[in-house]
Amino acid sequence: MAREITGFSNPLVKRVRSLREKKHRKAEGLFLAEGLRILTEAREEGVLPEMLFHAGSTHPLALELIDAIEDAGGDVIETTPDILSKISGKDNAQAVVGVYRDRLTPLNKLDRSTADIWIVAQSLRDPGNLGTILRTGDAVGAGGLILIDDCVDPFSVESVRASMGALFTQSITQARWGEFMHWLREGPGELIGTSLKATQDYQEPRYASPSFLLVGNEAQGLPESYEAECDQLVKMPMLGKADSLNAAVATAVMAYELLNQKRQRG
């Protein structure tokens, strides 16, 4: 149902604005996504927001999105650019902001047989890295991203923005290390970690499917006890003065090696 809100003090504006904070996202099970591109990609994946805020957009894709939300019984709210900025926290807010139900998949509901590649991130801290890793997962046809231990919130405005819509194409799961390892060893799957201490070049092994690519914290890398549980521990050559790659870049290099091996196998 379409309606109009023009007052900053409106209770719904305050409620939606509060979703910029993790405690409110967790309490409500909702998160924000902004921008016509991201919301359109979500719609193409069959995911519609429960609420849509827009500032009178007449773009054809926005009109299609509005029609789809109204047909599904969602709320469409026309408001001002200033209120959109207040909601999103950006001075130059996008033309549309959607409020979505969170998309966490419980570990025991994850179907490892649906993809050859899965990405596992441990104690990842940077929302930009998380979003980029989601985009990489989408690009290589990964099944999803499993977040281990205390990672940055995948549903923060910054993470969602950095994912450029990949948040809606990838399963997202959160688990503790012990829980994940118990689940992993109950079925097929090879755990692949990268480490500066590894002696094996990343292109040497023939990786099995499904492959679970494990990436560590940006500053500390993987704990030694986690490395010890990997089926393959490899390193990428570093020919310059830098001793390591950015976590998201390293993930992309490894993910494409896994994809290329899969392509070579036909």
Full set of structural domains in the chain with CATH: 2-101 (3.30.1330.30), 107-265 (3.40.1280.10)
Q: Measured in Å, how far apart are the chain's first and last C-alpha atoms?
A: 50
Which pLDDT value is given to residue 240? 85
Go through 212-243 and write b for each residue having 16 or more CB atoms within 10 A of its CB, e for each that does not: bbbbbbeeebbeeebbebbebbbbbeeeeeee
Which pLDDT value is given to residue 197? 87
**187-209 average pLDDT score:** 94
Say how far apart CA 148 and CA 67 lie, in whole Å. 38
Q: Residue 213: pLDDT above 80?
A: yes
Global pTM value: 0.92
pLDDT digits (tens, 9 = 90+) for 20-35: 999 999 999 999 999 9
Q: Per-residue confidence at 245, pLDDT binned at 50, 70, 90?
A: confident
pLDDT digits (tens, 9 = 90+) for 26-70: 999 999 999 999 999 999 999 999 999 998 888 999 999 999 999
